[in-house]
């Protein structure tokens, strides 16, 4: 096992005996879309969206999942693998000048990717972050402060940013 620490989180990573196959991860999170909206899940949505159907056919498809009915708690759970209340975001961040955000002590997918003993992941978040506001402690740096190498998108409060780690 490998022990990795950052100022806020201590994690123990147990290494399997052989490296895993693969090395790419793409997580697609859509607002206001249920399985009744995606043809890969059997919906008759008219013209099929080939990119989504292709990803579903060639990847891992979740057939039994639960998501909170609000944006920020869903994103916090997806980023951390924890229940929304355990992340401190049981409700949406307060726009536009609220100070609540996903806490730095929460380990995100991007920070977890940095711990990989086999792959040198490059991480990017494209789209809506909605886990901080321009007035919260990390401000619009939220995604890059939480481990992403690059971010292009919106905080969720109609403020768009393009950032790279270190900016």
CA-based nearest residue to 72, from 25, 142, 123: 142
Report which DSSP code applies to 148.
-
Question: How far apart, in whole angstroms, are the C-alpha atoms of residue 30 and residue 75?
Answer: 10
Question: How far apart, in whole angstroms, are the C-alpha atoms of residue 40 and residue 71?
Answer: 23
Is 44 one of the catalytic residues? no
Q: Which of 38, 93, 108, 130 is catalytic?
A: 130
Is 51 one of the catalytic residues? no
Q: Which of 71, 76, 89, 157 is catalytic?
A: 71
Q: Which residues are catalytic?
A: 71, 130
């Amino acid at each position: 096992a490998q022990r990795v620490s950052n100022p806020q989180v201590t994690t123990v990573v147990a290494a399997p005996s052989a490296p895993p196959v693969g090395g790419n991860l793409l997580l697609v999170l859509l607002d206001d879309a249920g399985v009744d909206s995606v043809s890969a899940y059997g919906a008759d949505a008219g013209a099929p969206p080939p990119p989504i159907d292709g990803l579903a056919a060639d990847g891992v498809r979740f057939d039994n999942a639960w998501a909170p009915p609000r944006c920020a708690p869903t994103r916090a759970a997806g980023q951390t693998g924890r229940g929304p209340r355990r992340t401190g975001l049981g409700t949406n961040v307060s726009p536009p000048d609220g100070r609540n955000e996903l806490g730095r002590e929460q380990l995100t997918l991007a920070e977890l990717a940095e711990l990989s003993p086999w792959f040198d992941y490059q991480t990017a978040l494209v789209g809506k972050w909605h886990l901080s506001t321009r007035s919260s402690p990390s401000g619009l740096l939220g995604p890059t402060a939480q481990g992403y190498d690059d971010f292009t998108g919106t905080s969720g409060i109609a403020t768009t940013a393009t950032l790279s780690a270190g900016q």
